[in-house]
Chain A
Amino acid sequence: MRKTRKYAVIARVSFSNALAYRVSLLSRFCFYTLFIMIFMSLWRAIYREGSVHGYDYTQIVWYLIMTEFVGFACGTGVFNNMNDEVKSGSIAYQLCRPTHYVLYQLANSAGQILLNMMCFGLLAAVLGLVLVGPLMTFTVAGLPPLLLSLLFSFLLNHFFLMLIGLSAFVLEDNFALFLIYQKLNFMLGMFLPVEFLPPWLGQIAENLPFSYIYWAPAKIFVRFSPDTCWELITRQGAWTMAAALLAFLTYRICMNRLQINGG
C-alpha cells in the first residue's frame, strides 16, 4: 500500500508545485486563446465552400480546440526535466531514492497535467461555446470514452517524451529528436484531422502512434460514434502499452550506461 501511495503523494506535491507557476499558466492561457483565434480565421476562410471530409465548420473549430487542449494540457516538462537532470547530474538524487525513475516521472507529470486539464478544460469549453456555440454531435454518453481517450493521450505522449528524455543518457544533444516528434504530431492529427491528409499519407498516419495522441480524442469528441470510438481507444491503448514497455526497457538499458556529469 505504502509502495503505491508514494506515487500518489508525488502527484499531489507536483500539483501544488504547478500551482506556484501562476504567471506561466496565465501566459499560456493567452497563447492558447491567440492560437485558437488565428486558426479559426484560417478555417473560416477554408469553410466558405461548405463541409470538408465530413467535418462542418463548428466541428473543425471544436476539433482545433480539443487538439490544442491536449497539446497545452498534456504538455509536461518531462523532456526538459529529464534532460536537465541528466546534464546537470542532479539525476543522482532521483536514483538514490526507493522509487522507480519511470514511475516517479509519470506521477510527477500526472500532477501537473491534472491542474492543466482543469484550467485548460474550463478555458476550452468557454472559448468553444463563445466562438461557435455548443457541439451538437457530442452527447453525455460520449464523455466516459472521451476521458479514457484523453488518459491514453496523456500516457502515450508522456512515454514518448520520456523516451526522448531517456536518450539524453546516450546522446549529447537530443533536442533534434524532440523537434521531429513535435512536427510529426503537428502534421499527423494536431493541426489537421487525419482524414484531411492524402489517402496514402492518411493510411500511414493511422498506422503510426502519433495520430493517437491528438486525432483520436478530438475525433471521438467531434464525430462521436460508438463503433469508431472503441476502435480508436483500443488502438490508443495498444500503442500506450508498447510505448510504456519501451520506456521501461530503455530505462533499464540506459541505467547500465549511465555516466553522471560532474562526477
Chain B
Amino acid sequence: MPVIQTRSLTKVYRTRVKKEGLGASFRALFHAEWKAIQAVTDISLQVEAGEIVAFIGPNGAGKSTFIKMLCGILHPTGGELSVLGFSPVKERRNLALRIGTVFGQKSQLWLHLPALDSFTLLAAIYEISDSERRRRVAELSELFELKDFLQTPVRKLSLGQRIRCEVAASLLHNPELLFLDEPTIGLDVVVKQAIRELILRRNKEWGTTVFLTSHDPSDIEQLCRRAVVIDRGVIVLDTQVDKLKSDYLGEKRVEVRFTSPQPFLHIPGAEVTVEGGGLKAVLTVNTSSCPIGDIMGRLSAMGNVSDITINNPPMEEIIAGIFKREAAS
C-alpha cells in the first residue's frame, strides 16, 4: 500500500483584496472584496514506503499547502487523500503519532529550556514510556552529536545546532513518514551536509519515507531518488533525480578569480563570461558532457588562478529550465 496517495487534491483559499488608497480602505470597511486563490489544483500523487521524494517548486507554488494537507492541518477543498492508510482530516491525531515534521523556518522546541526538556515533553506527547524515551534520546544524541549542548537552553544554540535538535525531535517517536519543509534553510555548507547524511542514514537503517521540500539543488541531488516539480499548484514534472540531474541539475557555475588579467578565455565544454577587466570569469559547465574535473585541470594548468568556487544554478533557474523544456516537448 502506498504511504501517500492523493487523487485530484485541490485547495482553494479565500483572501481579502483591497485596492490602493485611503478611499478604498474606507470602502473596504463596509464592503469587503474577496478573491479565491487556487493554491493546489488537481494533484494526484503516490509515494511508496522507503522513498525519498523531493517536492520542489518556486515560492508560492503550493508546496507547503500540500504538505499541510497531508499532515491534516489544512482541509482540502476537493479530492481524496490517504496518508499511511489514514484520512488526515478525520484522523489527524492518530496520523500524528506516525509522522514527523520539520518546518525549517519554525521551531518546535521551547526556546528558554534545554532541548532535553523539549524531548521529554515530545516523548510524553507521543506517548513514549520513560525508559524508551531515555533509550531513544541517547540514540539520537549519539547519532546527531547533541551530547555537548543537550542541556543548553535552545535560544543559546547556533542555527545548525538547533536544526539538528529539531530533526532529532521529529524522529523521537520513530515516525514512518517524515515531512521536511526546507530543513537546510539558512545553514552553512558543513551543517547542511551533516543533516543530509543523517536523513539518508535514517532512511537506510529504518526505511523511513521522506517527503522533502527545498530550494537547495544539492539537497535534491544528494538525498532524493525521485523529484516532483510543482508550480502554481500543479505538478509539472514527476521524474527520477538521475534524469533530473542529467537534464537540469548537471549544470554547474564555476567562478574563477585570476591573479593577472585574462581578457580572453576559452575552455572547451564551458560557456565563458569574463568580468572585472579579466580578473574574474564565470564558466557555465554541463557536467554530463564535460566532467568538472577536466575543467579544473585546465584552469589549474593556466597558472594564474587564485580562487575557484563551484555553485549550483539557483532553484528558480532550474525550474525555469524545466518549464521551457516541458513546454517545448
In the complex, chain B residues whose CB is within 8 Å of the CB of A21: 112
The smallest beta-carbon distance between B149 and chain A, in angstroms, is 17
For A132, list chain B residues within 8 Å (CB): none
Is the CB of A93 closer than 8 A to any CB of chain B? yes
**Complex contact B106–A88 (CB within 8 A):** yes
**B165 on the A face (CB < 8 A):** no
Which residues of chain B are within 8 angstroms of A259 by Cβ–Cβ distance? 13, 15, 74
**Would you call B73 and A95 a contact (CB within 8 A)?**
yes
Whether B113 pairs with A17 at a CB distance below 8 angstroms is: yes
CB distance from B120 to the nearest CB of A (A): 7
Contact B99 A6 (CB under 8 A): no
Cβ contact of B120, chosen from A3, A9, A88, cutoff 8 A: A9
- Highest count of chain B CB atoms <10 Å: which of A5, A6, A8: A6
Task: Name the CB-closest residue of A to B63.
Answer: A263
Asked if A150 is at the interface (CB within 8 A of a chain B CB), the reply is no
Report B117-170 residues with CB < 8 Å from chain A CB.
117-118, 120-121, 124-127, 129, 153
In the complex, the answer to whether A260 meets B64 with C-beta atoms within 8 Å is: yes
Cα of A208 to Cα of B205 in the assembled complex, Å: 60
Residues of A near B129 (CB, < 8 A) are 2
A20 to B99, CA, bound (A): 31
Q: Most A CB atoms within 10 A — which of B71, B105, B106?
A: B106
How many chain B residues sit at the interface, stated as a range, is 35 or more
CA distance A255 to B126 in the complex (A): 22
A27 sits at the interface (CB 8 A):
no
Given contacts A17-B113, A98-B126, A258-B73, contact A93 B93 (CB under 8 A): no
A198 at the interface (CB under 8 A from B): no
Q: CB within 8 A of A260: which of B74, B105, B118?
A: B74
Q: Is the CB of B117 within 8 A of A98?
A: no
Name the one of A3, A20, A260 contacting B68, with C-beta atoms under 8 angstroms: A260
**Which residues on B sit within 8 Å (CB–CB) of A90?**
103, 106-107
Which of A13, A95, A96 has the largest number of chain B CB atoms within 10 A?
A96
Q: In this assembly, does B82 line the interface, its C-beta being within 8 Å of a C-beta of chain A?
A: no
Max chain B C-beta neighbours (<10 A), residue from A8, A97, A99, A256 = A97
Partner pick for A255 among B13, B75, B96, CB 8 A cutoff: B75
The interface residues of chain B lying within 8 Å CB-to-CB of A2 are 124, 127, 129
The B-contacting residues of A in range 77-103, CB under 8 angstroms, are 88-93, 95-100
Smallest CB gap from B94: residue in A: A98
Would B96 and A97 count as touching, CB distance under 8 A?
yes
Question: What per-residue 1/0 map shows which CB atoms of A4-22 lie under 8 Å from chain B?
Answer: 0110111001001100110
Q: Could you tell me the distance between the alpha carbons of A17 and B97 in the complex, rounded to whole angstroms? A: 25
Tell me, rounded to whole Å, the shortest Cβ–Cβ distance linking A86 to chain B. 12
Q: A9-B120, A260-B74 are in contact. Are A96 and B113 (CB under 8 A)?
A: no
| List of A residues within 8 angstroms of B15 by Cβ | 259
- Residues of chain B lying within 8 A (CB to CB) of residue A97: 96, 125-126
Interface residues of A in 154-172 (CB under 8 A from B): 172
Q: Is the CB of A9 within 8 A of B124?
A: yes
Chain B residues with Cβ below 8 Å from A100 are: 93
Q: Contacts A9-B121, A13-B113, A90-B107 hold; do A98 and B127 have CB atoms under 8 A apart?
A: yes
- Given A98-B93, A260-B74, A93 and B124 touching (CB < 8 A)? no
CB within 8 A of B73: which of A6, A20, A88, A96? A96
Asked if A144 is at the interface (CB within 8 A of a chain B CB), the reply is no
Total residue contacts A-B, CB cutoff 8 A: 93
Q: How far is the CA of A100 from the CA of B25 in the complex (A)?
A: 38
Given contacts A9-B120, A98-B96, A263-B68, contact A92 B103 (CB under 8 A): yes
Residues on the B chain within 8 Å of A91, using CB: 73
Whether the Cβ atoms of B112 and A258 lie closer than 8 Å is no
| Per-residue contact bits, chain A 235-263, to B (CB 8 Å; 1 contact, 0 not) | 00000000000000000000110111011
Asked whether B203 is an interface residue with its Cβ less than 8 Å from the other chain, the reply is no
A3 contacts across to B, CB distance below 8 A: 127
Q: Which residues of A contact B68 (CB under 8 A)?
A: 92, 260, 263
Interface residues of A in 126-168 (CB under 8 A from B): none
Give the distance in Å from the alpha carbon of A100 to the alpha carbon of B101 in the complex.
17
B124-A6 in contact (CB<8A): yes
Residues of A within 8 A of B126 (CB): 97-98
Q: Please indicate the chain B residues that have their CB under 8 angstroms from the CB of A13 in the complex.
A: 110, 113, 117-118, 120-121
Chain A residue at minimal CB-CB distance from B39: A263
Pairs across A and B, CB under 8 Å, 26 listed: A2-B124, A2-B127, A3-B127, A10-B125, A13-B117, A13-B118, A13-B120, A16-B117, A17-B110, A17-B112, A20-B112, A88-B106, A89-B106, A90-B107, A92-B71, A92-B73, A92-B101, A93-B101, A95-B72, A96-B96, A96-B99, A98-B93, A98-B96, A98-B97, A259-B13, A260-B65
Further 18 A-B residue pairs, CB within 8 A, beyond A16-B117, A258-B74: A2-B124, A2-B129, A8-B124, A13-B113, A20-B112, A21-B112, A89-B106, A91-B73, A92-B106, A95-B72, A95-B92, A96-B96, A96-B99, A98-B96, A98-B126, A98-B127, A260-B65, A263-B60
> Interface of A with B (CB < 8 Å)?
2-3, 5-6, 8-10, 13, 16-17, 20-21, 88-93, 95-100, 172, 255-256, 258-260, 262-263
Lowest 8 A-B CB distances belong to which pairs?
Answer: A263-B64, A9-B124, A20-B112, A2-B127, A98-B96, A90-B106, A6-B124, A95-B73
